C-alpha cells in the first residue's frame, strides 16, 4: 500500500501521523512485520551529531557608512572569505584564528576557529568584526570594526557543502607512536579504534538508496529547520553494499542549508581536534516518509547489519593506499571493542549517539505537534544503484 507525501502531510496536520524513530522501527518490524508496519507508520525520524568539517555560514554584514567593499574580514580574529559581493562573507568551520600557533608546539590545541564563531553567533554572543579594503569610488571605506550579533545581521545562513556522511571509516593506528587526527587521538599499536557515525540512527543509512531524500527535503538542522540543498561534495554511491543495500564504505553525502536564526548551540558546537584543527559538530535529523514497504525494510536496519571499514591512519590513510584492515559492524563498535588483526581494540566514538537519539526524538515531537511538515523533494539525489534498479 503506497502513500504519498501529501497524504502523510494531511495526517500530520490533523495530528494523526504515526511517527517512530529509526531505533523504534527496528522492534516494530520484528514484532509486526514489514507489511503491517508500512501500513500503520507514516514516518521514521533519524538523527546524527558529530564533527562535520565541511560546514560554514554565509553572512551579510549590512552596510557601513561610508560604504566599504570588504576585501579582507575577520570574525573574532578568524578569517572569513570575502571574495564575494561587498558585505557578504563566508565563515568556514575549519578556519583557525590568526596567531594560533597551529602545530608549532605539537600537538596543537586549536582552541578557536570558524566553528566556534558560528557557535558563538547562534548562542547570541557578540562577535567582533574587523574588515579592511582598498577603497573604490563607490565603496570608499577602508577600515571597519564593530561587534555583530546574530539578531542584527542582515542574513546568516548555515550552508554546509558536505554533511551527514553515509557511513565512515573506523580509524586505527598501526604505528608505534601516538597520532593526532581528525578522527581523534589514536594510540599506537592498535591502542584504540575511533568511529564516527550514528549507525542505525544515521539519516543516510536509513535511506541507503536515496529513495526519499532529495533536493528540498526539509530537515532538522542545528536545532532549527533546514533543507537538503544538493548532494554533498564527494557524494559517491558506487560503493560495495550489503545484501540489503547499505554501503559498507563512506558513500553518499548531503549539502544542507538553513537559517542560523532558530538554531541552537547544543546542536552546533565548535570542536577542537588536538593536533588537527577546528571543526563544527552539527546535528542533523531527516524525516523519512514511509511511502512503501521498501522504505520500512531499509529504515529497520540494525547496527548488526551495518558494516564499516577499519583503516590505518598512520600510513594507509595519509598515503591514500586504499588498504582496508577489515570490516566491523556498528553493533561491535558500540559494544566497546572490536577485533583487528586478532587483537581486541577498545572503541571510542566522535559522533554522539545519545545526541543523535535526542535529535530523532525532537524531530518526532515536532512532527507530532504538527509544527514540521514534509517537503516534497524537487529531485531525488543521484544514486546509480537505485537508478539501475538494485534494491
Partner 1 sequence: MVRHKIVLHFPHEQVDKPIVSKLVRDYGLDFNILKASITPREEGLLVLELTGKESDYERGVQYLRDCGVSIQPLSQDIRRNEERCTHCGACLAVCPTDALRLDRDTMQVAFEQAECIACELCVKACPPRAMEIHY
Catalytic residues: 138
Q: Which residues in 66-105 contact partner 1 (CB under 8 A)?
A: none
Instruction: Closer to partner 1 by CB, 23 or 207: give it.
Output: 23
Compute the least distance from the CB of residue 22 to partner 1, in Å. Answer: 14
113 is a contact residue toward partner 1 (CB under 8 A) = no
At residue 360, φ and ψ (nearest 5 deg) are: -60, -40
How many chain residues touch partner 1 (CB under 8 A)?
A: 35
CA 299 – CA 312 distance, rounded (Å): 30
User: Which SS3 state, helix, strand or coil, does residue 319 take?
Assistant: helix
CA pair distance 274, 220, nearest whole angstrom: 29
- Mark 282-321 with x for binding to partner 1 (rule: CB under 8 A) and - for no binding: ----------------------------------------
What backbone torsions phi and psi does residue 117 show, to the nearest 5 degrees? -60, -45
Comparison of 239 and 348: residue with beta carbon closer to partner 1: 348
Cα distance between residue 134 and residue 154, in whole Å: 24
Footprint of partner 1 on residues 225-284 (CB under 8 A)?
269-274, 279, 281
Is the CB of residue 194 less than 8 Å from the CB of residue 376?
no
Q: Is 331 an interacting residue with respect to partner 1 (CB under 8 A)? A: no
| 354 forms part of the interface with partner 1 (CB under 8 A) | yes
- Near partner 1 by CB under 8 A: residue from 89, 350, 359, 380: 350
Q: Which of residues 182-201 bind partner 1 (CB under 8 A)?
A: 184-187, 191-192, 194
> Measured between alpha carbons, how far is 194 from 182 in angstroms, rounded to an integer?
10
Residue 8 or residue 164: which is nearer to partner 1 going by CB? 164
Query: Where are the extended beta strands (E) located within 40-99?
Result: 43-45, 48-51, 56-60, 72-75, 78-80, 88-92
Nearer to partner 1, 186 or 383 (CB): 186
109 sits near partner 1 (criterion: CB under 8 A): yes
Q: How far apart are CA 197 and CA 241, in angstroms?
A: 17
Q: In what order do the strands lie in the sheet with 72-75?
A: 78-80, 72-75, 127-132, 143-148
Cell numbers for 205: 543509512
Number of alpha helices (DSSP H) and beta strands (DSSP E) in the chain:
8, 26
Q: Give the span between the Cα atoms of 140 and 171, in whole angstroms.
A: 51
State the nearest-atom distance from the C-beta of 383 to partner 1, in Å: 29
Indicate the residue among 198 and 254 with the shorter CB distance to partner 1: 198
Interface residue with partner 1, options 3, 211, 231, 355 (CB under 8 A): 355
Site for partner 1, rule CB under 8 A: 49-51, 107, 109, 111, 184-187, 191-192, 194, 269-274, 279, 281, 334-336, 346-355, 357
Amino acid at each position: 500500500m503506497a502513500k504519498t507525501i501529501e497524504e502523510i502531510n494531511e495526517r500530520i496536520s490533523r495530528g494523526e501521523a504515526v511517527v517512530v524513530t529509526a531505533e523504534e522501527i527496528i522492534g516494530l518490524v520484528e514484532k509486526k512485520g514489514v507489511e503491517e508496519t508500512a501500513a500503520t507508520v507514516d514516518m521514521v525520524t533519524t538523527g546524527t551529531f558529530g564533527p562535520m568539517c565541511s560546514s560554514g555560514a554565509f553572512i551579510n554584514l549590512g552596510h557601513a557608512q561610508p560604504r566599504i567593499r570588504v576585501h579582507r574580514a575577520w570574525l573574532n580574529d578568524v578569517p572569513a572569505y570575502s571574495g564575494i559581493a561587498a558585505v557578504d562573507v563566508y565563515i568556514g568551520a575549519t578556519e583557525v584564528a590568526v596567531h594560533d600557533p597551529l602545530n608549532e608546539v605539537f600537538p596543537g590545541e586549536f582552541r578557536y576557529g570558524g566553528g566556534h564563531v558560528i557557535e558563538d553567533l547562534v548562542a547570541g554572543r557578540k562577535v567582533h568584526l574587523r574588515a579592511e579594503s582598498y577603497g573604490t569610488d563607490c565603496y570608499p571605506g577602508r577600515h571597519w570594526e564593530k561587534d555583530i550579533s546574530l539578531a542584527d545581521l542582515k542574513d546568516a545562513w548555515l550552508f554546509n557543502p558536505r554533511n551527514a556522511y553515509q557511513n565512515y571509516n573506523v580509524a586505527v593506528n598501526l604505528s608505534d607512536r601516538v597520532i593526532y587526527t581528525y578522527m581523534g587521538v589514536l594510540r599506537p599499536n592498535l591502542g584504540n579504534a575511533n568511529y564516527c557515525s550514528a549507525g542505525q540512527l544515521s539519516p543516510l543509512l536509513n535511506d541507503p538508496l536515496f529513495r526519499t531524500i532529495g533536493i528540498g527535503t526539509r530537515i532538522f538542522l542545528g536545532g532549527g529547520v533546514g533543507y537538503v540543498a544538493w548532494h554533498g561534495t564527494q557524494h559517491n554511491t558506487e560503493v560495495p553494499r550489503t545484501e540489503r543495500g547499505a554501503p559498507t564504505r563512506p558513500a553518499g553525502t548531503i549539502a544542507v542549508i538553513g537559517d542560523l536564526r532558530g538554531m541552537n548551540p547544543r546542536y552546533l558546537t565548535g570542536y577542537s581536534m588536538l593536533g588537527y584543527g577546528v571543526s563544527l559538530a552539527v546535528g542533523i535529523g531527516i524525516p523519512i516518509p514511509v511511502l512503501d514497504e521498501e522504505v520500512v525494510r531499509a529504515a529497520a536496519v540494525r547496527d548488526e547489519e551495518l558494516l564499516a571499514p577499519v583503516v590505518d591512519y598512520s600510513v594507509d590513510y595519509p598515503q591514500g593506499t586504499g588498504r582496508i584492515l577489515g570490516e566491523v559492524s556498528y553493533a561491535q563498535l558500540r559494544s566497546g571493542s572490536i577485533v583487528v588483526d586478532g587483537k581486541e581494540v577498545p572503541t571510542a566514538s566522535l559522533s554522539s549517539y545519545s545526541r543523535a537519539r535526542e535529535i530523532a526524538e525532537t524531530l518526532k515531537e515536532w512532527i507530532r505537534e504538527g509544527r514540521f511538515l514534509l517537503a516534497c523533494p524537487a529531485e531525488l539525489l543521484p544514486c546509480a544503484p537505485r537508478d539501475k534498479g538494485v534494491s
